[in-house]
Amino acid sequence: MADIPLAVDIAVLGLAFTRLYDDLLDEVGGPDLERRLGELVEHGRFTPVSDAERLLDRMYRELEGRLGRRRDDPLYAAAAAAHRFQVRSRDQRDPATPHATLAAISAGKGRYGTLTVFALVRPDLSARERTLVMDIGETLQMLDDYADRDSDRRAGIRTLATEGRLGLADVARRLRHLRPRLAAHYGRGSVREFTGVCFLAMCVCFLDRRLPGLGARLPVKSSHPDPGPVLAGEAGEATPVGDDRGHATTSA
């Protein structure tokens, strides 16, 4: 959509780093690791204490060397903010966490996580583009939360989706409202392809819930095992209908 040439080495290193970072937080966790990872992404300081952490540190150094960015590049601030929201996500397991906080955590993870990925491939992002990318990230995090709602419930993770306060119609509506702003910046043709893929993914979610297993045989499949429902046609021409939980979905 942004017409940026794919830097394969940066993409592989960045995604591999993110995968290992997530696994360490999920499988090891704890305040000490969270603090040390925060020092790494924010200041580049890190003392590994395991083979996995040494690999993470090596990937970070290699990525940083290939990027050659100044420390005031938006990438570093975005990564630091994404880490802070990732740490806050532990509150999603607390039954006492209010809904406003759950919404803020999901929004922050989506906004700054997506900004970090985008900033890997676009140096010196303008303020306008940063805002657009963050709005994309929040929208996709809403989709992610709804797709994961059943598995999150089983794991004791609370989101607005698990609380019954987020439907995929909300995602579709937000994406439709975001599209004109994206088109004004990136061009209608590029944005049409991007939003088309998003709506196609929602169609697959719809079919996968109603016809289990079918979604796995379709060409676009969410990486999450239990997505939720929405069926959307051309953006801007959808008609609300009720789904089986009382949320509004969209039908072409």
**DSSP H or E run through 30:** none
Cα-based angle 201, 230, 237 (whole degrees, multiple of 5): 95
Give the CA distances from residue 221 to residues 162, 200, 208, 217, in Å, rounded to whole numbers and listed in that order: 21, 9, 9, 8
Predicted TM-score (pTM) of this structure? 0.79
Torsion of CA 150, 107, 59, 48, to 10 degrees: -80
Q: What is the pLDDT of residue 114?
A: 94
Q: What is the pLDDT of residues 172-221, one digit of tens each?
A: 999 999 999 999 999 998 899 899 999 988 888 777 777 766 655 555 44
What per-residue confidence (pLDDT) applies to 242? 35
Residues 138, 84, 86: CA angle, nearest 5 degrees: 60
The two structure tokens encoding residue 23: 């696994």
- pLDDT by residue for the chain (252 residues), tens only, comes to 888 888 899 989 998 999 999 999 988 989 999 999 999 998 999 999 999 999 999 999 999 999 999 988 999 999 999 999 999 999 999 999 999 999 999 999 999 999 999 998 888 889 999 999 999 999 999 999 988 888 899 999 999 999 999 988 999 999 999 999 999 999 998 899 899 999 988 888 777 777 766 655 555 444 443 333 332 333 333 333 334 333 433 332
